Copies of this chain bind each other. A is one copy, B any other.
Amino acid sequence: MKVKLATNILEANDRIAAENMKIFRDARVFVINVMSGPGAGKTSLLERTIQELSGKIRIAVIEGDIAGSDDALRIEKLNTPVVQINTGGGCHLDANMIREVLEDFPLKDLDLLIIENVGNLVCPAEFNLGEDMKIMLLSLAEGHDKPLKYPLMFQESSALVLNKIDLLPYTNADIGKIKKDSLSLNPKLKIFEVSCKTGEGIKEWADWLKSLVK
């Protein structure tokens, strides 16, 4: 019974996601859905990415959180169009939530729309939003056992951004194991090592993203 309900919800979501995708394609805007567990550094990555690509491509952001608008305020400071979605307890964004805020953006004047999902390594991976690509972050501080424990997120993502590599000397995390296990789940996964604190690796990531957009 529970399984049936879940299937129906996912089917309805996929239908709206397909409609969103058509809207994005018609407007020629590239859309990424950025996912991670809480505190892996999604908003910090967005800040770094926006700064790196400033003046090169036109970016807007949708912020997803259960509550609060701290993240949207951080993006607004960078003079970037942003809308905050509060899920009110919901553990992921769904396609309909995205649909409802699209009219707030001048889609045809954008090159890249970044959707920051709710911090959760599980549920967001099941709900397509109509994006071109899913991107996931993992903080080195979360440990090297995450790929095998949260496999769907790694399988669904096109790129893994491994953040907080500045903490490497102070943790027991094994980057080699993270990469090996991630690639065993998803051989096509593109992996970037970055530190949003020091800026290390940001240029490589941003250059790659820019190459997809234009």
Contacts and interface: CB of A to CB of B under 8 A. Distances in A.
A148 interface: yes
A172 interface: yes
Contact of A170 (B5, B152, B166): B166
Contact of A148 (B39, B68, B121, B122): B68
A5 to B, nearest CB: 6
A166 to B, nearest CB: 7
Contacts of A121: 37-38, 119-120
Interface stretch (A99-107, A138-146, A201-209): A138-146
Chain A interface category by residue count: 35 or more
A212 interface: no
B119 A66 contact: no
B91 A146 contact: no
Contacts of A146: 38-39
A22 interface: no
A123 interface: yes
A149 B67 contact: yes
A66 B122 contact: yes
Interface of A: 2, 5, 9, 37-40, 65-68, 70, 89, 91, 118-123, 126, 139, 141-143, 145-146, 148-152, 164, 166-167, 170-172, 197
| Nearest 6 A/B pairs, CB to CB | A39-B142, A141-B141, A91-B122, A37-B38, A38-B121, A39-B143
8 contacts: A37-B37, A38-B142, A67-B148, A89-B126, A120-B121, A122-B123, A139-B142, A172-B197
